[in-house]
């Protein structure tokens, strides 16, 4: 991360860091069946489901749940939603209680500490499901290439069902520096948002007779 501003963690590497078994992602995936429609993505023609929550993470690893609030990205970071106050359904209590979520937040705090000597981090969590159908591609990033206005951005694959595409790309200004397709549950892509831009290509159903979807958990950390 320090030398090239991004890193891809394989499921075995992430599992070791978090102290979890490979079956944890299948168990966590049940929460993606309880997401709510993203009305803002729908305005751009994308079927996306999501929830949203935010936490405070101290340097010592203490996690505090913050009150549910609107989601606003800093000016000029996301061209599609500049200064828009977006309102999403909160994370469920069952999701917040998952031990692997707590472990992931703490691990990402250790990564972020290598990028910035902050005493406290604002952690924002977004479980996403993007749906693709024969007559409408799924757009994981309808805003295109963008930043999130934070220090660290991570995308954890939870699952893919009947889809192709969904390539994640990272850019240093105008130069592409990485292109990866998250294919196996538990694969984690991390990038320094201050030094990179990111985007994800459209997904399409492999079997056009039925819809497909791509489930990810996006977590961001910003120095507070």
pTM: 0.93
| Rounded Cα distance, 54 and 40, in Å | 19
Model confidence pLDDT, tens digit, residues 60-105? 999 999 998 887 766 555 555 555 677 899 999 999 999 999 999 9
Give the C-alpha separation, 105 to 125, whole Å: 9
Cα 155 to Cα 215: distance, rounded to the nearest angstrom: 10
Q: What is the mean pLDDT of the chain?
A: 92
């Amino acid at each position: 991360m320090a030398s090239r501003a991004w890193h891809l963690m394989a499921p075995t590497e992430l599992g070791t860091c978090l102290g979890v078994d490979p079956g944890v992602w299948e168990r966590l995936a049940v929460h993606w069946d309880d997401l709510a429609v993203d009305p803002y993505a729908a305005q751009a023609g994308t079927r996306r489901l999501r929830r949203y929550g935010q936490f405070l993470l101290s340097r010592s690893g203490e996690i505090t749940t913050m009150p549910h609030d609107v989601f606003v990205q800093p000016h000029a970071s996301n061209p599609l939603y500049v200064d828009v106050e977006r309102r999403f359904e909160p994370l469920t209590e069952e999701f917040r209680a998952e031990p692997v979520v707590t472990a992931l937040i703490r691990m990402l705090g250790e990564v972020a500490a290598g990028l910035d000597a902050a005493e406290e981090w604002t952690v924002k969590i977004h479980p996403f499901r993007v749906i693709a159908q024969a007559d409408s591609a799924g757009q994981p990033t309808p805003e295109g290439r963008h930043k999130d206005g934070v220090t660290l951005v991570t995308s954890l694959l939870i699952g893919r069902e009947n889809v192709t595409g969904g390539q994640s790309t990272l850019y240093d200004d105008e130069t592409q520096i990485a292109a990866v397709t998250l294919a196996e549950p538990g694969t984690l892509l991390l990038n320094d948002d201050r030094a990179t831009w990111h985007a994800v290509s459209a997904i399409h159903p492999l079997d056009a007779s039925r819809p497909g979807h791509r489930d990810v958990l996006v977590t961001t950390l910003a120095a507070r």
